[in-house]
Amino acid sequence: MSHRIASIPGDGIGVDVTVEARKVLDAAAARYGFSLEWEEFDWSCERYAETGAMMPEDGVEQLSGFDAILLGAVGFPGVPDHVSLWGLLIPLRRAFQQYVNLRPVRLLPGTTSALAGRTADELEMVIVRENSEGEYSAIGGRHNAGRPDEFVLQESVFTRVGVERIIRYAFELARTRSGHVTSATKSNGLIHSMPYWDEIFAEVGARHPDVRAEQCHVDALAARMVQAPDRIDVVVGSNLFGDILSDLAAAVTGGLGMAPSGNVNPSGEFPSMFEAVHGSAPDIAGQGIANPVAQILAGAMLLDHLGETVAAQAIRSSVDEVLAAGKVLTPDLGGTSTTTGLGTAVAETLR
């Protein structure tokens, strides 16, 4: 069995951690008897500087035949973030209808949560983030430019199809886990979009009577994630709220270096794309000290998605084993290892 994977290392530490994830995925393939056929794309801020575009005009077409995509990170000082991200990451998510952004976190052995004393079973959750619409919208603009009454409008778009499908996905996922789903909204402040989301959440909930459905204001949920994370399992939220909550979830389970993410096209019509939750970390880029675990775990999600579930589980176990041993840890985990050192340790454990 062979799988064709497109790799887009991107910018900053995205490049460093993607090398390590590929190393681990190749080791998993060799051990579990399948092969990965990689093709690499240099789409990045560097490419933007040279050509004026993050990716070629037919970029979506070029990727469409792959079985999956492994993405590093996009964005680097020198190119405005809204230009780089709307030139690569966001259009890919939309073109491939990757409307689910799945962001699971758990406290890994040998690592310390910001919430000292919490154990692994109290700190395992998954953010199901709406990934194709909502607050991430190009609709709006600047009015009365240069005048004292200048203002900007930034519209949000919530469609019935878009809201319903992500909520349904979360309910169905909850069925396979704790049977509990929490919806994050802000219906006290945003009077159109969020009550609409709540309404659809209640409708879908009525069709899933076996799942305990809870609606929570996102601000209160943020506090709960720190104070009582054991009361949270599956969280479903809009594009923006899911984004913010997933960095918070990463932080309470050991940091941004640990949290993977899947941009999933559930129908399978288009390739899904896997990446870490974190970005290109310009502050540590080029130093060889980024933690590659998030990207390696994103690679495990990629293999799960392709049906290579035994290999995916073996990767997670190898990560656990290396972290639990506590000998090879990057600086964010309190160690002195390099990115390559940790990636190699996981790959070797796997072999």
Chain residues that interact with ligand IPM, rule: CB under 6 A: 75, 85, 89, 243, 277, 279
Q: Which is nearer to ligand NAD, 135 or 230 (CB)?
A: 135
Return the ∠ at Cα 253 (arms to 249 and 255), rounded to 5°.
85
Strands 180-185 and 151-154 come out as unpaired
From start to end of the chain, where are the E strands?
Answer: 2-10, 35-40, 68-73, 100-106, 124-130, 140-143, 151-154, 180-185, 212-217, 234-237, 260-264, 272-276
Please, what is the minimum distance in Å from the beta carbon of residue 273 to ligand NAD?
10
Decide: is 332 part of the binding site for ligand NAD (CB under 6 A). Answer: yes
Partner from ligand IPM, Mn ion, ligand NAD, none contacting 332, C-beta within 5 to 8 A by type = ligand NAD
Other C-beta atoms lying within 10 Å of the C-beta of residue 91: 15
Name the residue with the smallest CB distance to Mn ion: 243
Q: Is the Cβ–Cβ distance between 323 and 291 less than 8 Å?
A: no
Please, what is the minimum distance in Å from the beta carbon of residue 297 to Mn ion?
16
Q: Using CA atoms in the order 10, 16, 17, 21, what is the torsion angle rounded to 10 degrees?
A: 100
Decide: is 130 part of the binding site for Mn ion (CB under 5 A). Answer: no
Other C-beta atoms lying within 10 Å of the C-beta of residue 342: 27
Q: Is 101 helix (H, G, I), strand (E, B) or coil?
A: strand
Helix (H) or strand (E) holding 84: helix 81-86
Q: Which is nearer to Mn ion, 120 or 240 (CB)?
A: 240
For residues 114 and 100, what is the distance between their CA atoms, to the nearest angstrom? 28
Single residue of 11, 20, 233, 243 touching Mn ion by CB under 5 A: 243
Q: Which is nearer to ligand IPM, 28 or 102 (CB)?
A: 102
Decide: is 291 part of the binding site for ligand NAD (CB under 6 A). Answer: yes
Partner from ligand NAD, Mn ion, ligand IPM, none contacting 256, C-beta within 5 to 8 A by type = ligand NAD
Please, what is the minimum distance in Å from the beta carbon of residue 261 to Mn ion?
8
Partner from Mn ion, ligand IPM, ligand NAD, none contacting 283, C-beta within 5 to 8 A by type = ligand NAD
Strands 68-73 and 35-40 come out as unpaired
* Amino acid at residue number 217: H
How many residues of this chain interact with ligand NAD, rule: CB under 6 A?
23
Decide: is 69 part of the binding site for ligand NAD (CB under 6 A). Answer: no
Please, what is the minimum distance in Å from the beta carbon of residue 175 to ligand NAD?
29
Other C-beta atoms lying within 10 Å of the C-beta of residue 288: 14
Partner from ligand IPM, ligand NAD, Mn ion, none contacting 291, C-beta within 5 to 8 A by type = ligand NAD
Contact residues: Mn ion, CB under 5 A: 243
Q: Which spans of this chain sit near ligand NAD (rule: CB under 6 A)?
A: 13, 17, 73-76, 81, 85, 89, 256-257, 275, 278-284, 290-291, 294, 332
